[in-house]
Structure 1
Amino acid sequence: MPLSETPSTERNGGTERNGASAVIERASAVLFAFTVEQPELGLGEVARRTGLPASTVRRLLVQLTSVGLVEQDPETQRYSLSLRLAQLGSVALERVDVIRLARAAMQEVTDQVGEAAFLGQLTPHGVVYLAVTQPPVSVRVTTRVGDLRPAHTTAMGKVLLAALSPEELRLRLQEPLVASTNRSHVSLPDLLAELGEVRASGLATNFGEAHPEYSSVAAPVLDHRRQTVAALAISAPTYRVPEDALPRLSRAVVAAAAAVSQQLGCPLAHTA
Protein backbone atom coordinates (compact mmCIF):
# COMPACT_ATOMS: atom_id res chain seq x y z
CA MET A 1 0.00 0.00 0.00
CA PRO A 2 1.61 3.30 -1.01
CA LEU A 3 2.04 6.14 1.45
CA SER A 4 -0.53 8.35 -0.18
CA GLU A 5 -4.01 9.68 0.17
CA THR A 6 -6.46 11.21 -2.24
CA PRO A 7 -4.79 14.44 -3.42
CA SER A 8 -6.34 17.41 -1.72
CA THR A 9 -5.48 20.87 -0.50
CA GLU A 10 -5.64 21.82 3.17
CA ARG A 11 -5.11 25.10 4.98
CA ASN A 12 -2.82 25.52 7.97
CA GLY A 13 -2.35 29.03 9.33
CA GLY A 14 -3.51 30.47 6.02
CA THR A 15 -0.90 28.53 4.02
CA GLU A 16 -2.07 26.02 1.42
CA ARG A 17 -0.28 22.70 1.30
CA ASN A 18 -0.68 19.81 -1.04
CA GLY A 19 -2.28 16.77 0.60
CA ALA A 20 0.61 14.50 -0.35
CA SER A 21 3.06 16.77 1.45
CA ALA A 22 0.89 16.68 4.55
CA VAL A 23 0.91 12.87 4.48
CA ILE A 24 4.71 12.84 4.31
CA GLU A 25 4.90 15.25 7.25
CA ARG A 26 2.55 13.10 9.33
CA ALA A 27 4.40 9.90 8.41
CA SER A 28 7.68 11.55 9.41
CA ALA A 29 6.17 12.60 12.74
CA VAL A 30 5.19 8.98 13.38
CA LEU A 31 8.70 7.72 12.61
CA PHE A 32 10.34 10.35 14.82
CA ALA A 33 8.06 9.40 17.71
CA PHE A 34 10.32 6.39 18.28
CA THR A 35 13.47 7.07 20.30
CA VAL A 36 16.44 5.19 21.70
CA GLU A 37 14.83 5.42 25.14
CA GLN A 38 11.47 4.12 23.85
CA PRO A 39 12.04 2.04 20.72
CA GLU A 40 8.66 0.28 21.03
CA LEU A 41 5.37 2.15 21.18
CA GLY A 42 1.71 1.31 21.15
CA LEU A 43 -0.83 3.02 18.92
CA GLY A 44 -2.01 5.34 21.68
CA GLU A 45 1.53 6.32 22.63
CA VAL A 46 2.34 7.29 19.04
CA ALA A 47 -0.87 9.32 18.85
CA ARG A 48 -0.01 11.19 22.06
CA ARG A 49 3.55 11.89 20.95
CA THR A 50 2.56 13.18 17.52
CA GLY A 51 -0.68 14.91 18.46
CA LEU A 52 -2.40 13.15 15.56
CA PRO A 53 -5.80 11.43 15.76
CA ALA A 54 -5.56 7.73 16.59
CA SER A 55 -7.35 6.84 13.35
CA THR A 56 -4.73 8.73 11.32
CA VAL A 57 -1.88 7.13 13.26
CA ARG A 58 -3.38 3.68 12.75
CA ARG A 59 -3.61 4.21 8.99
CA LEU A 60 -0.05 5.56 8.78
CA LEU A 61 1.37 2.70 10.86
CA VAL A 62 -0.34 0.17 8.60
CA GLN A 63 1.13 1.87 5.53
CA LEU A 64 4.61 2.21 7.06
CA THR A 65 4.50 -1.45 8.04
CA SER A 66 3.47 -2.47 4.53
CA VAL A 67 6.53 -0.77 3.00
CA GLY A 68 8.88 -2.25 5.58
CA LEU A 69 9.77 0.86 7.58
CA VAL A 70 7.90 -0.17 10.73
CA GLU A 71 7.37 -3.57 12.36
CA GLN A 72 4.59 -4.74 14.66
CA ASP A 73 5.08 -7.37 17.34
CA PRO A 74 2.32 -9.95 16.78
CA GLU A 75 2.09 -10.70 20.50
CA THR A 76 2.23 -7.25 22.09
CA GLN A 77 0.83 -5.36 19.07
CA ARG A 78 3.46 -2.69 19.74
CA TYR A 79 5.36 -1.03 16.92
CA SER A 80 9.07 -0.41 16.33
CA LEU A 81 11.28 0.89 13.54
CA SER A 82 12.59 -1.73 11.14
CA LEU A 83 16.17 -2.51 10.19
CA ARG A 84 15.39 -1.19 6.73
CA LEU A 85 15.59 2.31 8.19
CA ALA A 86 19.00 1.45 9.64
CA GLN A 87 20.12 0.44 6.15
CA LEU A 88 18.96 3.78 4.76
CA GLY A 89 20.71 5.57 7.61
CA SER A 90 23.97 3.77 6.95
CA VAL A 91 23.88 4.96 3.33
CA ALA A 92 23.58 8.57 4.50
CA LEU A 93 26.24 8.15 7.19
CA GLU A 94 28.77 6.92 4.64
CA ARG A 95 28.60 10.37 3.06
CA VAL A 96 29.03 12.32 6.28
CA ASP A 97 31.96 14.72 6.29
CA VAL A 98 33.02 15.25 9.90
CA ILE A 99 35.05 18.35 9.02
CA ARG A 100 32.10 20.01 7.31
CA LEU A 101 29.76 19.15 10.16
CA ALA A 102 32.22 20.35 12.81
CA ARG A 103 32.88 23.81 11.39
CA ALA A 104 29.71 25.45 12.71
CA ALA A 105 30.18 24.04 16.22
CA MET A 106 33.83 25.06 16.20
CA GLN A 107 33.04 28.61 15.14
CA GLU A 108 30.31 28.82 17.75
CA VAL A 109 32.61 27.71 20.56
CA THR A 110 35.34 30.10 19.37
CA ASP A 111 32.85 32.96 19.43
CA GLN A 112 31.63 31.84 22.85
CA VAL A 113 34.97 31.55 24.67
CA GLY A 114 37.16 33.77 22.50
CA GLU A 115 39.78 31.08 21.88
CA ALA A 116 40.86 28.80 19.04
CA ALA A 117 39.06 25.52 18.34
CA PHE A 118 40.66 22.52 16.65
CA LEU A 119 39.45 19.26 15.13
CA GLY A 120 41.86 16.35 14.89
CA GLN A 121 42.15 12.67 14.08
CA LEU A 122 44.69 10.00 14.91
CA THR A 123 47.22 8.84 12.32
CA PRO A 124 50.05 6.30 12.65
CA HIS A 125 52.41 9.23 13.20
CA GLY A 126 50.42 11.31 15.68
CA VAL A 127 47.38 13.56 15.73
CA VAL A 128 46.71 15.58 12.57
CA TYR A 129 44.83 18.89 12.69
CA LEU A 130 41.89 18.83 10.27
CA ALA A 131 40.18 22.16 10.93
CA VAL A 132 40.88 25.36 12.86
CA THR A 133 38.78 28.35 13.90
CA GLN A 134 40.63 31.35 15.28
CA PRO A 135 39.41 34.24 17.45
CA PRO A 136 39.95 37.88 16.41
CA VAL A 137 42.87 38.44 18.80
CA SER A 138 46.50 39.26 18.13
CA VAL A 139 48.00 36.54 20.36
CA ARG A 140 46.72 33.16 19.25
CA VAL A 141 47.71 29.52 18.96
CA THR A 142 49.67 29.15 15.72
CA THR A 143 48.75 25.54 14.88
CA ARG A 144 47.52 25.17 11.29
CA VAL A 145 45.48 22.64 9.32
CA GLY A 146 47.71 19.72 8.38
CA ASP A 147 50.07 20.10 11.34
CA LEU A 148 51.06 16.86 13.06
CA ARG A 149 51.81 16.51 16.78
CA PRO A 150 52.81 13.54 18.97
CA ALA A 151 49.47 12.26 20.22
CA HIS A 152 50.54 11.80 23.84
CA THR A 153 51.48 15.49 24.15
CA THR A 154 48.14 17.00 23.09
CA ALA A 155 44.67 17.03 24.64
CA MET A 156 43.13 15.85 21.36
CA GLY A 157 45.69 13.08 21.09
CA LYS A 158 44.95 11.86 24.61
CA VAL A 159 41.23 11.71 23.81
CA LEU A 160 41.95 9.67 20.69
CA LEU A 161 44.45 7.39 22.42
CA ALA A 162 41.99 6.77 25.25
CA ALA A 163 39.57 5.28 22.71
CA LEU A 164 42.05 2.59 21.61
CA SER A 165 42.15 -0.95 22.93
CA PRO A 166 45.01 -2.05 25.23
CA GLU A 167 46.53 -3.98 22.33
CA GLU A 168 46.39 -0.96 20.03
CA LEU A 169 47.99 1.20 22.71
CA ARG A 170 50.74 -1.37 23.25
CA LEU A 171 51.60 -1.34 19.55
CA ARG A 172 51.48 2.44 19.28
CA LEU A 173 53.20 3.57 22.48
CA GLN A 174 56.70 2.53 23.41
CA GLU A 175 59.10 3.92 25.97
CA PRO A 176 60.83 6.21 26.05
CA LEU A 177 58.06 8.56 24.97
CA VAL A 178 59.34 11.53 23.00
CA ALA A 179 59.00 14.78 24.97
CA SER A 180 58.01 18.00 23.21
CA THR A 181 58.53 20.08 26.37
CA ASN A 182 59.65 19.43 29.93
CA ARG A 183 55.98 18.91 30.82
CA SER A 184 55.42 16.09 28.31
CA HIS A 185 54.82 12.54 29.50
CA VAL A 186 57.92 10.37 29.19
CA SER A 187 56.68 7.57 31.45
CA LEU A 188 54.32 5.13 29.75
CA PRO A 189 52.65 4.02 33.03
CA ASP A 190 51.94 7.66 33.90
CA LEU A 191 50.44 8.27 30.46
CA LEU A 192 48.31 5.12 30.62
CA ALA A 193 47.02 6.19 34.03
CA GLU A 194 45.99 9.57 32.61
CA LEU A 195 44.35 7.91 29.61
CA GLY A 196 42.26 5.88 32.04
CA GLU A 197 41.05 9.12 33.61
CA VAL A 198 40.33 10.57 30.17
CA ARG A 199 38.36 7.46 29.25
CA ALA A 200 36.27 7.78 32.40
CA SER A 201 35.65 11.53 32.22
CA GLY A 202 35.42 12.08 28.46
CA LEU A 203 37.76 15.06 28.78
CA ALA A 204 41.51 15.56 28.33
CA THR A 205 43.80 18.47 29.19
CA ASN A 206 47.23 19.64 28.12
CA PHE A 207 49.13 22.26 30.05
CA GLY A 208 52.28 23.11 28.14
CA GLU A 209 52.96 19.51 27.06
CA ALA A 210 52.99 20.11 23.29
CA HIS A 211 54.17 23.72 23.42
CA PRO A 212 55.43 25.46 26.56
CA GLU A 213 53.15 28.46 26.10
CA TYR A 214 49.87 26.77 25.11
CA SER A 215 47.21 24.84 27.02
CA SER A 216 44.10 23.03 25.81
CA VAL A 217 41.09 20.91 26.70
CA ALA A 218 39.54 18.33 24.38
CA ALA A 219 36.55 15.99 24.12
CA PRO A 220 35.72 13.09 21.79
CA VAL A 221 33.52 13.28 18.70
CA LEU A 222 31.47 10.07 18.41
CA ASP A 223 29.70 8.55 15.42
CA HIS A 224 26.43 6.62 15.19
CA ARG A 225 28.14 3.54 16.69
CA ARG A 226 29.43 5.62 19.62
CA GLN A 227 32.95 5.15 18.27
CA THR A 228 35.46 7.99 18.63
CA VAL A 229 36.14 9.31 15.13
CA ALA A 230 37.76 12.65 15.98
CA ALA A 231 38.53 14.99 18.85
CA LEU A 232 37.59 18.63 19.32
CA ALA A 233 39.75 20.97 21.39
CA ILE A 234 39.87 24.52 22.69
CA SER A 235 43.40 25.87 22.89
CA ALA A 236 44.82 29.14 24.16
CA PRO A 237 47.99 30.75 25.45
CA THR A 238 48.45 29.41 28.97
CA TYR A 239 48.28 32.85 30.56
CA ARG A 240 44.67 33.09 29.32
CA VAL A 241 43.73 29.78 30.97
CA PRO A 242 43.79 30.36 34.73
CA GLU A 243 42.59 27.50 36.90
CA ASP A 244 39.16 29.04 37.43
CA ALA A 245 38.62 29.23 33.63
CA LEU A 246 39.06 25.49 33.11
CA PRO A 247 35.49 24.44 34.06
CA ARG A 248 34.00 26.95 31.62
CA LEU A 249 36.27 25.84 28.78
CA SER A 250 35.62 22.19 29.61
CA ARG A 251 31.85 22.64 29.46
CA ALA A 252 32.16 24.50 26.17
CA VAL A 253 34.32 21.89 24.45
CA VAL A 254 32.17 18.98 25.69
CA ALA A 255 29.04 20.74 24.39
CA ALA A 256 30.65 21.46 21.01
CA ALA A 257 31.87 17.87 20.63
CA ALA A 258 28.44 16.55 21.60
CA ALA A 259 26.79 18.80 19.00
CA VAL A 260 29.00 17.36 16.27
CA SER A 261 28.43 13.82 17.58
CA GLN A 262 24.67 14.31 17.36
CA GLN A 263 25.02 15.36 13.74
CA LEU A 264 26.97 12.15 13.12
CA GLY A 265 24.04 10.17 14.50
CA CYS A 266 25.45 9.41 17.94
CA PRO A 267 22.62 8.40 20.29
CA LEU A 268 22.40 10.11 23.66
CA ALA A 269 25.17 12.62 22.89
CA HIS A 270 24.50 14.93 25.81
CA THR A 271 26.14 18.22 26.60
CA ALA A 272 27.67 18.80 30.01
Structure 2
Amino acid sequence: MKNNKNQEHLLSSVKNALRILRSFSLEEPEKKVTDLAASLGLGKSTVSRLLATLASEGFVAKDPETQKYRLGLTILHLNTIVTSNLEINRESLPILQRLVNEIGETAHIAVMDGLDVVYLNRVECKHPVQILSHVGRRNPVHCTSSGKVILAHQEENLIEQVIEKGLEKYTVKTITDPDDFRDILKTVKEQGYAISIEELREGVASVAAPIRDYTGKVVYAISVIGPIHRMNPHNTTIINKVKNAAKEISERLGYWKN
Protein backbone atom coordinates (compact mmCIF):
# COMPACT_ATOMS: atom_id res chain seq x y z
CA MET A 1 0.00 0.00 0.00
CA LYS A 2 2.88 2.32 0.90
CA ASN A 3 4.57 1.65 -2.45
CA ASN A 4 1.36 2.55 -4.29
CA LYS A 5 1.14 5.88 -2.44
CA ASN A 6 4.77 6.65 -3.19
CA GLN A 7 4.22 5.87 -6.87
CA GLU A 8 1.12 8.08 -7.01
CA HIS A 9 3.04 10.91 -5.34
CA LEU A 10 5.89 10.52 -7.83
CA LEU A 11 3.53 10.56 -10.83
CA SER A 12 1.76 13.63 -9.43
CA SER A 13 5.10 15.41 -9.03
CA VAL A 14 6.14 14.57 -12.59
CA LYS A 15 2.81 15.82 -13.93
CA ASN A 16 3.08 19.09 -11.99
CA ALA A 17 6.68 19.59 -13.15
CA LEU A 18 5.50 19.22 -16.75
CA ARG A 19 2.66 21.67 -16.10
CA ILE A 20 5.21 24.18 -14.87
CA LEU A 21 7.31 23.79 -18.02
CA ARG A 22 4.27 24.18 -20.27
CA SER A 23 3.15 27.34 -18.47
CA PHE A 24 5.99 29.39 -19.97
CA SER A 25 5.27 31.17 -23.26
CA LEU A 26 6.57 33.96 -25.48
CA GLU A 27 4.08 36.27 -23.82
CA GLU A 28 5.26 35.21 -20.36
CA PRO A 29 8.83 33.88 -20.68
CA GLU A 30 9.63 34.51 -17.01
CA LYS A 31 7.56 33.78 -13.92
CA LYS A 32 7.86 34.00 -10.16
CA VAL A 33 7.06 31.15 -7.80
CA THR A 34 3.93 32.97 -6.60
CA ASP A 35 2.71 33.44 -10.19
CA LEU A 36 3.16 29.76 -11.00
CA ALA A 37 1.54 28.64 -7.77
CA ALA A 38 -1.51 30.81 -8.39
CA SER A 39 -1.96 29.90 -12.05
CA LEU A 40 -1.48 26.15 -11.49
CA GLY A 41 -3.37 25.89 -8.22
CA LEU A 42 -0.36 24.52 -6.33
CA GLY A 43 1.27 25.44 -3.05
CA LYS A 44 4.30 27.74 -3.15
CA SER A 45 6.43 25.17 -1.35
CA THR A 46 5.50 22.52 -3.93
CA VAL A 47 6.33 24.84 -6.83
CA SER A 48 9.62 25.89 -5.22
CA ARG A 49 10.65 22.28 -4.73
CA LEU A 50 9.78 21.30 -8.29
CA LEU A 51 11.56 24.35 -9.74
CA ALA A 52 14.69 23.53 -7.73
CA THR A 53 14.67 20.02 -9.19
CA LEU A 54 14.09 21.29 -12.72
CA ALA A 55 16.85 23.88 -12.30
CA SER A 56 19.33 21.22 -11.15
CA GLU A 57 18.84 19.47 -14.52
CA GLY A 58 18.92 22.65 -16.59
CA PHE A 59 15.24 22.66 -17.54
CA VAL A 60 14.71 26.07 -15.92
CA ALA A 61 17.02 28.88 -14.81
CA LYS A 62 16.55 31.51 -12.11
CA ASP A 63 17.39 35.17 -12.50
CA PRO A 64 19.12 36.14 -9.23
CA GLU A 65 18.03 39.79 -9.53
CA THR A 66 14.34 39.40 -10.38
CA GLN A 67 13.91 36.00 -8.68
CA LYS A 68 11.99 34.91 -11.77
CA TYR A 69 12.38 31.58 -13.54
CA ARG A 70 12.68 30.99 -17.27
CA LEU A 71 13.19 27.90 -19.43
CA GLY A 72 16.75 26.58 -19.42
CA LEU A 73 19.18 25.45 -22.09
CA THR A 74 18.23 21.79 -21.66
CA ILE A 75 14.88 22.62 -23.30
CA LEU A 76 16.70 24.17 -26.25
CA HIS A 77 18.87 21.07 -26.61
CA LEU A 78 15.84 18.76 -26.61
CA ASN A 79 14.03 21.03 -29.06
CA THR A 80 16.98 20.84 -31.44
CA ILE A 81 16.91 17.05 -31.30
CA VAL A 82 13.17 16.92 -31.99
CA THR A 83 13.10 19.41 -34.84
CA SER A 84 16.20 18.01 -36.56
CA ASN A 85 14.63 14.55 -36.61
CA LEU A 86 11.21 15.55 -37.89
CA GLU A 87 10.96 14.26 -41.41
CA ILE A 88 8.45 16.94 -42.33
CA ASN A 89 10.96 19.65 -41.37
CA ARG A 90 13.77 18.12 -43.39
CA GLU A 91 11.63 17.61 -46.46
CA SER A 92 9.79 20.93 -46.30
CA LEU A 93 12.62 23.37 -45.61
CA PRO A 94 13.89 23.86 -49.18
CA ILE A 95 10.32 24.19 -50.44
CA LEU A 96 9.44 26.70 -47.76
CA GLN A 97 12.51 28.73 -48.70
CA ARG A 98 11.55 28.67 -52.36
CA LEU A 99 7.97 29.68 -51.55
CA VAL A 100 9.18 32.65 -49.51
CA ASN A 101 11.45 33.74 -52.36
CA GLU A 102 8.63 33.48 -54.90
CA ILE A 103 5.81 35.06 -52.89
CA GLY A 104 7.79 37.32 -50.57
CA GLU A 105 5.89 36.38 -47.42
CA THR A 106 6.57 34.11 -44.44
CA ALA A 107 5.82 30.40 -44.87
CA HIS A 108 5.00 27.71 -42.31
CA ILE A 109 4.38 24.03 -41.75
CA ALA A 110 1.66 23.23 -39.20
CA VAL A 111 0.09 20.15 -37.62
CA MET A 112 -3.04 19.59 -35.56
CA ASP A 113 -2.40 18.73 -31.92
CA GLY A 114 -5.56 18.08 -29.97
CA LEU A 115 -7.97 20.80 -31.03
CA ASP A 116 -5.26 23.35 -31.83
CA VAL A 117 -2.85 23.91 -34.69
CA VAL A 118 0.88 23.97 -33.88
CA TYR A 119 3.60 25.42 -36.13
CA LEU A 120 6.53 23.04 -36.71
CA ASN A 121 8.64 24.92 -39.23
CA ARG A 122 8.93 28.51 -40.40
CA VAL A 123 10.90 30.52 -42.93
CA GLU A 124 10.62 34.27 -42.56
CA CYS A 125 10.48 36.74 -45.41
CA LYS A 126 12.75 39.79 -45.64
CA HIS A 127 10.05 42.09 -44.26
CA PRO A 128 8.21 40.04 -41.62
CA VAL A 129 5.24 41.37 -39.69
CA GLN A 130 4.36 40.67 -36.08
CA ILE A 131 2.12 37.63 -36.40
CA LEU A 132 1.21 34.85 -34.00
CA SER A 133 2.89 31.96 -35.81
CA HIS A 134 6.32 31.21 -34.35
CA VAL A 135 7.54 27.61 -34.19
CA GLY A 136 5.80 25.85 -31.31
CA ARG A 137 2.98 28.36 -31.22
CA ARG A 138 -0.50 26.94 -30.64
CA ASN A 139 -3.34 28.69 -32.44
CA PRO A 140 -7.05 27.90 -32.72
CA VAL A 141 -8.03 25.66 -35.62
CA HIS A 142 -11.22 27.44 -36.65
CA CYS A 143 -9.72 30.83 -37.56
CA THR A 144 -6.40 29.87 -39.19
CA SER A 145 -5.99 28.71 -42.77
CA SER A 146 -3.69 25.87 -41.68
CA GLY A 147 -6.17 24.68 -39.08
CA LYS A 148 -9.12 24.79 -41.45
CA VAL A 149 -7.36 22.97 -44.27
CA ILE A 150 -6.27 20.13 -41.96
CA LEU A 151 -9.60 19.89 -40.15
CA ALA A 152 -11.54 19.82 -43.42
CA HIS A 153 -9.98 16.42 -44.20
CA GLN A 154 -10.63 14.85 -40.79
CA GLU A 155 -13.50 12.70 -39.51
CA GLU A 156 -16.82 14.35 -38.71
CA ASN A 157 -16.50 13.62 -35.00
CA LEU A 158 -13.31 15.67 -34.76
CA ILE A 159 -14.96 18.57 -36.57
CA GLU A 160 -17.83 18.41 -34.09
CA GLN A 161 -15.39 18.38 -31.17
CA VAL A 162 -13.90 21.65 -32.41
CA ILE A 163 -17.38 23.15 -32.74
CA GLU A 164 -18.47 21.91 -29.32
CA LYS A 165 -15.37 23.43 -27.76
CA GLY A 166 -16.64 26.76 -29.03
CA LEU A 167 -15.73 28.90 -32.05
CA GLU A 168 -14.22 31.74 -30.08
CA LYS A 169 -14.38 35.19 -31.61
CA TYR A 170 -10.98 36.85 -32.06
CA THR A 171 -11.93 39.58 -34.53
CA VAL A 172 -15.11 40.79 -36.20
CA LYS A 173 -14.32 38.42 -39.10
CA THR A 174 -13.91 35.25 -37.03
CA ILE A 175 -16.39 32.56 -38.11
CA THR A 176 -18.42 31.65 -35.03
CA ASP A 177 -21.59 30.13 -36.48
CA PRO A 178 -21.36 26.30 -36.51
CA ASP A 179 -23.33 25.87 -39.74
CA ASP A 180 -21.26 28.48 -41.55
CA PHE A 181 -18.10 26.80 -40.30
CA ARG A 182 -19.21 23.37 -41.53
CA ASP A 183 -20.02 24.83 -44.97
CA ILE A 184 -16.62 26.50 -45.18
CA LEU A 185 -14.84 23.24 -44.33
CA LYS A 186 -16.75 21.48 -47.12
CA THR A 187 -15.66 24.16 -49.59
CA VAL A 188 -12.07 23.97 -48.34
CA LYS A 189 -12.00 20.21 -48.88
CA GLU A 190 -13.43 20.52 -52.39
CA GLN A 191 -11.11 23.31 -53.58
CA GLY A 192 -7.96 21.96 -51.92
CA TYR A 193 -6.93 25.09 -50.04
CA ALA A 194 -8.09 27.44 -47.29
CA ILE A 195 -7.76 31.16 -46.71
CA SER A 196 -8.06 33.26 -43.58
CA ILE A 197 -8.55 37.00 -43.80
CA GLU A 198 -8.30 38.83 -40.48
CA GLU A 199 -10.01 35.93 -38.68
CA LEU A 200 -7.35 35.58 -35.97
CA ARG A 201 -5.66 38.95 -36.14
CA GLU A 202 -6.65 42.18 -37.87
CA GLY A 203 -4.56 43.11 -40.88
CA VAL A 204 -3.23 39.59 -41.46
CA ALA A 205 -4.19 37.07 -44.15
CA SER A 206 -3.02 33.58 -45.03
CA VAL A 207 -3.38 30.79 -47.59
CA ALA A 208 -2.86 27.11 -46.74
CA ALA A 209 -2.92 23.77 -48.56
CA PRO A 210 -3.01 20.20 -47.19
CA ILE A 211 0.06 17.95 -46.98
CA ARG A 212 -0.52 14.17 -47.09
CA ASP A 213 1.64 11.44 -45.64
CA TYR A 214 2.49 8.20 -47.47
CA THR A 215 -0.94 6.75 -46.59
CA GLY A 216 -2.74 9.67 -48.20
CA LYS A 217 -3.95 11.12 -44.90
CA VAL A 218 -3.81 14.89 -44.44
CA VAL A 219 -1.52 15.38 -41.46
CA TYR A 220 0.14 18.75 -42.08
CA ALA A 221 -0.50 22.05 -43.82
CA ILE A 222 1.74 24.54 -45.56
CA SER A 223 0.80 28.19 -45.46
CA VAL A 224 1.97 31.67 -46.36
CA ILE A 225 1.07 34.55 -44.08
CA GLY A 226 1.36 38.27 -44.61
CA PRO A 227 -0.28 41.66 -44.12
CA ILE A 228 -3.37 42.27 -46.24
CA HIS A 229 -1.87 45.44 -47.69
CA ARG A 230 0.90 43.29 -49.26
CA MET A 231 -0.72 39.92 -49.91
CA ASN A 232 -4.04 39.14 -51.56
CA PRO A 233 -5.08 35.64 -50.41
CA HIS A 234 -7.49 35.35 -53.36
CA ASN A 235 -4.65 35.74 -55.85
CA THR A 236 -4.69 32.56 -57.94
CA THR A 237 -0.93 32.66 -58.50
CA ILE A 238 -0.30 32.57 -54.75
CA ILE A 239 -2.92 29.86 -54.23
CA ASN A 240 -1.43 27.65 -56.97
CA LYS A 241 2.11 28.10 -55.64
CA VAL A 242 0.98 27.03 -52.16
CA LYS A 243 -0.95 24.04 -53.53
CA ASN A 244 1.99 22.95 -55.67
CA ALA A 245 4.33 23.26 -52.69
CA ALA A 246 1.97 21.06 -50.63
CA LYS A 247 1.88 18.48 -53.43
CA GLU A 248 5.67 18.41 -53.67
CA ILE A 249 6.12 17.95 -49.92
CA SER A 250 3.47 15.20 -49.92
CA GLU A 251 5.43 13.36 -52.63
CA ARG A 252 8.63 13.75 -50.61
CA LEU A 253 6.81 12.11 -47.70
CA GLY A 254 5.91 9.16 -49.92
CA TYR A 255 2.44 10.07 -51.17
CA TRP A 256 1.74 9.38 -54.82
CA LYS A 257 -1.73 9.98 -56.23
CA ASN A 258 -2.88 7.25 -58.60
1:263 aligns with one of 227, 234, 252: 252
Match of 1:113 among 80, 91, 103: 103
Q: CA deviation at 1:124?
A: 1.2
Query: In the alignment, residue 105 of structure 1 is paired with which amino acid?
Result: I
Question: What is the aligned partner in structure 1 of residue 243 from structure 2?
Answer: 254
Q: Distance in 2 between matches of 1:197 and 1:253?
A: 17
The 1:165/1:259 distance shift into structure 2, 3 A limit, reads same
Is 1:165–2:155 an aligned residue pair? Answer: yes
The change in CA–CA distance for 1:138 and 1:196 in structure 2 (over 3 A counts) is: closer
Structure 1 vs Structure 2 CA RMSD: 1.9
1:28-67 residue pairs with structure 2 within 5 A? Answer: none
Task: Supply the distance in 1 between the matched residues of 2:139 and 2:86 (Cα, whole angstroms).
Answer: 25
2:119 equivalent among 119, 129, 150: 129
Question: SS of the residue aligned with 2:117?
Answer: strand
For 1:248, the aligned partner's letter is T
What TM-score do the two structures reach when normalised by structure 2?
Answer: 0.64
Larger radius of gyration: 1
Bigger shift: residues 175-184 or 196-205: 175-184
1:222 aligns with 2:217: no
Q: TM-score, normalised by structure 1?
A: 0.60
User: Is contact 1:120–1:230 with CA below 8 Å preserved after alignment?
Assistant: yes
Structure 1 residue matching 2:181: 3-state secondary structure:
helix
Question: How much does 1:222 deviate?
Answer: 0.6
Deviation at 1:99, TM superposition (A): 1.5
1:153 to 124, 135, 143: 143
- Is the Cα–Cα contact under 8 Å of residues 96 and 264 in structure 1 kept in the other structure? no
* 1:233 corresponding residue in structure 2: 223
Equivalent runs, 1:65-214 vs 2, <5 Å: 97-137=87-127, 139=129, 141=131, 143-174=133-164, 176-214=166-204
In the comparison of the two structures, how many residue pairs are matched?
A: 174
Q: 1:189 to 1:116 in 2, by over 3 A?
A: same
Seen in structure 2, the aligned counterparts of structure 1 residues 164 and 237 have a Cα distance that, compared at 3 Å, is: same
Counterpart-to-counterpart distance in 1, 2:152 and 2:96: 22
Q: 5+ residue gaps in structure 1?
A: 1-94
What SS does structure 1 have at the residue aligned with 2:157? helix
Identical columns (%): 25
Kindly tell me: are residues 175 and 186 of structure 1, through their superposed partners in 2, closer, same or farther at Cα, counting changes over 3 Å? farther
Partner SS state of residue 152, structure 1: coil
